[in-house]
Structure 1
């Protein structure tokens, strides 16, 4: 294993900057700057360059092998956060033989390789770093806690028990086996499949929490769509004009709504137009609105009860400040009805997150799907009798392999680069 180092905090002026060193030579490298250090502990030390000149006074934390985030020997240098100090310390480390600058996500990769994290926990850590809302933070923390790995281990234990029962029958095929193991095997398979299917069906909801929901604001020109978007964004995100067709492209504003990540889409006013550019904008508006999680229709009063009754549609009378009865309307100019609208949007989107579990990525769904398919193949083979039990046992081995891929024990090299590329250097 290489010994790597990097700045683990953001660059720029700060009160404290942390430089992390990880690997078999981490403590030796730190001692070249700070003098003798404990195997596991902390202390205030003066860091010096190769000529003995002081670089900084730093808090030095040492972590013994097996007791650090990466699982390797780790030293953290908590420096004063000036660019000059950081550059001087990194330069000193670069001069030491056997050390190299860490690549993006390499500290976390060491933790994976040393068994400190499984792959689902690594993905959870990546999500936590990227989390912008409370819902995303909570979901990432569940992943980091190893919830998926714990469930996978339970399912694997049941499948291994079923496999052992089948192989016992195979081994004693020439003898009289006093107990029929089929009922217990089927019970184990049913229990695993039910739990795995429930988790697989929750991936869609979990992915929406990760990626965010889209709410499209649609309606005819001059219905107050852009004014409402600006009100919700708290800034002039869209140009406002009484001229029909002002908005010609989809304008996106990302926000947190009751803890959920939501992207609001201001779309071109829907109408027939001979303007080629506006027509393109209207086509894009229709396309984005069709794929959005929710659509907010702003209409005139006489259209309030016409044609917008789907579960993914919310209807409000636009520009309520100009209406005689604003109770059913909404206004981005006065704020009338906005709070009630946000409550309704948040309530509908929250309902869609209720099924989210600890499987949160498409990769997880595919692995669970493969495992369930092999369980079903095994169940189909069982009635064929003793001569086919070796095929049933092989299907269970393949199901176990699918579960192992969830937590990174097999078949994951091709996705590691993509995962770790999302990390910054120093994590």
Structure 2
């Protein structure tokens, strides 16, 4: 079956791209363009397109033909570059719908065909999905590396190492009467031990890849009326949260997505933390503490007028991932005490005034350093999905069992390696992964 879809964005535009893929793509092109033979592949041509039934002009535009298997999907592919007006696109799609054996594509179906035809592995298709959804520079760079196959090559290389080691054991089992090198297990064990170290180090990455893909969570915490909503508005450069002198104004969790140094960051404003008999406010406080537990960075706010005594009331909120923000320095009457506080402050403590702007530049530089420290894009490909992490842990468990098997039974050792290789194969799609394909490709839009 040949599929088609609008591959460019919906709505009015200067140019729209409609893509076809399948055995009838070339035939559809000839009829719409009024040509008698297929053009030279990958060479753009300008022509009038006409409805093959009525002969009415559809538009004046470009077409490109990509012959199988030298295309994105591995099938014959045609792209029509036409004007992006709604009526033009609708008329073109209507004409395509009347061809026999041609139907609209499902979300992700073009990429699914590319995967099925061996044009990319499963990690590369996930990288493409991430690229389409990328909003920051770091997300773009990480997605391009994964789409380029770097992550898949890493995992496939490890899988091949296991299979190669497994071959020694299988040979000893199947050809016990032949001349096989002695102490096969002793030869294989160092290979598996070294691989165990590589996978363990890869897993111990601080979840940087997932943070870049999903965004760093920065949660603002503190007592009511300490300036959390003002800070939220300052960071987002717009009025996201209501600022009021009335305590308990923020009762739910508010989020805003920012780009800090090219990294995706979600800033979360929470309800003021205090004892409350109001059920709605109490629920907001419960959610605030829950988000604090899930956060990557905590910005814990306190009143500069009462520091360090005020630190006792927020001590349970402060951990190694906390930035302490002492607000309302403009209200501190003892300036000598304030200057001493600034001079003697710890690395992650920042006296500021959200009212006057004092100290905010230093705080922003500190926040950027903390974000960069947690999100720095490593040279080696990074883990980007929970399913990768689970499969790697499964593989590592089987390698553990191999290395710690006291019986030395070759059949059991070979089975452990087989299961370890299979777990790695699930990441790239080298083994049967039908149960997860629908989930992976459902992330794509129609036309990709």
TM-score (norm 2): 0.89
Distance 1:234 1:175 in 2: 75
1:235-274 superposed Cα distances (whole Å, 9 cap, x missing partner): 1111111111222212111111112211111122222333
Of 336-345 and 184-193, deviating more is 336-345
Aligned residues: 423
Q: Which residue number corresponds to residue 272 of structure 1?
A: 275
What residue number does 1:318 align with? 327
Q: How does 1:319-398 map to 2 (within 5 A)?
A: 319-323=328-332, 324=335, 325=338, 327=342, 328-354=350-376, 357-381=381-405, 384-385=407-408, 388-398=409-419
- Between the aligned partners of 1:178 and 1:244, the Cα distance in structure 2 is 78
Cα distance in 1 for residues equivalent to 2:323 and 2:206: 25
Q: Secondary structure at the match of 2:429?
A: coil
Equivalent residue for 2:73?
A: 70
- 2:103 counterpart residue number: 100
| Change over 3 Å in CA distance of 1:355–1:259 after alignment to 2 | closer
Mapped partners of 2:182, 2:275: distance in 1: 75
| Counterparts in 2 of 1:355 and 1:28: CA distance versus 1, 3 Å | closer
The unaligned stretches of length 5 or more in structure 1 are: none
State the match for 2:39 in structure 1: 38
Question: Structure 1 pair 79/333, CA: closer, same or farther in 2 (3 Å)?
Answer: farther
1:410 maps to what in 2? Answer: 431
Q: CA deviation at 1:294?
A: 1.4
Kindly tell me: are residues 175 and 60 of structure 1, through their superposed partners in 2, closer, same or farther at Cα, counting changes over 3 Å? closer
- Paired residue secondary structure (1:384): coil
Q: Identify the residue that residue 347 of structure 2 maps to in structure 1.
A: none
Q: CA RMSD in A?
A: 2.0
Report if the CA contact (8 A) 1:20-1:75 is conserved: yes
Distance 1:81 1:178 in 2: 68
Taking structure 1 as the reference length, what is the TM-score of the superposition?
0.93
Task: Give the Cα separation in 1 of the matches to 2:328 and 2:433.
Answer: 53
Alignment partner, residue 60 of structure 1: 63
Q: CA deviation at 1:85?
A: 0.7
Q: Does 1:12 align with 2:11?
A: yes
C-alpha separation in 1, matches of 2:308 and 2:88: 64
Kept in 2: contact 1:4–1:101 (CA 8 A): yes
1:53-103 Cα deviation digits (max 9, x unpaired): 211111101101011111111000000110111011100000111100000
Q: CA deviation at 1:164?
A: 1.6
Deviations 1:151-197 (A, max 9, x none): 12221222122112112322443466554333320121012212222
State the 1:144 CA deviation: 0.5
Sort the Cα spacing of 1:416 and 1:172 in 2 relative to 1 into closer, same or farther, 3 A.
Answer: closer
TM-fit CA distance, 1:409: 2.3
